[in-house]
Amino acid sequence: MRQDLNNSVTLVLPDCLSNEIDAIARLPVETAGVLLASIVTTPEGDTRILGRRIRWVADSAYIRRGGDHLSIASEGYVPHLAEAEALGAAAIWLHTHPGIDSSPRPSEHDEEVDRQISDLFRLRAGSPYYSAVIFSPRRQGLAFTGWLQSENAPRLKIERQWTVGDRFSLTQAFDRPPMDIQPIFDRSVRAFGGAVQQALGELRVGIVGCGGTGSVVAEQLVRLGVRWFTLFDPDHLSRSNVTRVYGSTPADVGKLKVDILAAHLMRIASACSHGPGSLATPRTSACFQQSGLPDTARALDQSCSEMNSVQTQLVNVLREVAHPDIGVIAKVRSANDSLLRSMTTRAQQMDDFLVRLEKQVWAIWLPVVASAALALGFALGTWFAHVRQGTPEALSAAQAQQMPMPEAPAQQAVPQRNAKHH
């Protein structure tokens, strides 16, 4: 029921390398470099190019360089081939075609360069592979084309690029035709969009454990549009598993869980098994033993043992914390009780002091204050009385000063008669 998609090639880059390529691709001139990568073949026959480092050609090594051409001296890339050999990596030749919306398809000159340097790359890097990738910038992200070729084997196109980091990003190759979306996913396309549905169809999902949790996750993913699964579980279905494992029945007791879940997923996805990205036959435990993963399993088992040790230590710590007599909680409770008793004693002392102060105020200070208030009131009353009434002598003197003085009568001139002289 599986379409044979062997020899599918995927480029996988960590987000730091993808961001670096994006920045270089936006330069106004062509730029070249060597991507150091590990090349891995999956049990299904697919190939992954796992990017590890990028070594860009130094500016001094360019003989000619412009927006649509470049020429490089051999010293610009040969040292990077030696680094690839030291790492046990393949050397991937990559360069850019600058300009928004420019085509990342190889030119005739690019093809000629690949023919000239492919053998040198294989020889100096000590790898049977030669690969070339071209990147062009877009307003958001990159467009690319590329291919991979082993010695005496045909070229394989790189069909997709995964960028891996805090988020996963899928970019289809520029020259790859779009994948047809089956009509059964019409509702999903309306909800998430065609690009998301295509990305789901490209996912390769590994599920470890096909019991009550793994079977639920697998069914939800296959109904969303995921078509490639690798299932891991060495256990057989027991009677107590039937109520939890999706797709199982009492007749399946004793069968491998991976086989039961694989058959269940194929029943769900049988309507679209003829399309691109059909459901891959899941791997069983035998495939697990042949896939080179037992070492990883042993490492995981060791990690689990270490986690169990840490868990035991944590339980011991929690017991010490929660011990009713000597634990941290008991000590904290004892300290809180002591503090509460101390605060209660201080509050009682303060209350007693306030009572004594109140008694002293009523017994000593209140009579003194009352007597002083009475004396002050008497003095003020006397003063106001004098001000308002005044003394009689003062009033008479004042009235006398205010009475007008009578004016003296004017002297009249009396004519004198002259005495007669006799």
> Nearest-5° angle of CA 186, CA 192, CA 193?
70
Q: What is the DSSP letter of 258?
A: H
pLDDT for position 11:
95
Mean pLDDT of the chain: 80
Q: What is the DSSP letter of 185?
A: G
Q: What separation in angstroms does the CA of 288 have from each of 59, 349, 360?
A: 48, 78, 93
pLDDT for position 275:
30
pLDDT for position 406:
53
Tell me the per-residue pLDDT of 339-362, one tens digit each, with 9 for 90 and over. 888 888 888 888 888 888 888 777
* Long-range Cβ contacts of 231-237 (<8 Å, 24+ apart): 231/206, 231/207, 231/258, 231/261, 231/262, 231/282, 231/283, 231/284, 232/206, 232/207, 232/208, 232/258, 232/283, 232/285, 232/288, 233/208, 233/209, 233/257, 233/258, 233/261, 233/285, 234/285, 234/288, 235/211
Q: Which CATH number fits domain 178-292: 3.40.50.720, 2.60.40.1180, 1.10.10.10, 3.40.980.10?
A: 3.40.50.720
Domain boundaries, the chain: 1-174, 178-292, 293-322, 323-375
CATH superfamily name and code, 1-174? Cytidine Deaminase, domain 2 (3.40.140.10)
Q: Minimal CA–CA distance to 49: which of 134, 159, 179?
A: 159
Mean pLDDT, rounded, for 299-306: 58
pLDDT for position 305:
64
The winner for highest mean pLDDT among 47-56, 285-294, 335-344 is 47-56
pLDDT for position 63:
95
pLDDT for position 372:
83
- CA–CA distance, 131 with 121 (Å, rounded to integer): 9
Residues 334 and 325: beta-carbon distance below 8 Å: no
pLDDT for position 17:
95
328 — pLDDT class (breaks 50, 70, 90): low
Whole-model pTM over 0.75: no
Residue with the larger pLDDT of the pair 7 and 150: 150
Mean pLDDT, rounded, for 314-329: 66
Tell me the per-residue pLDDT of 161-204, one tens digit each, with 9 for 90 and over. 999 988 888 899 998 887 777 777 888 888 888 878 887 887 88
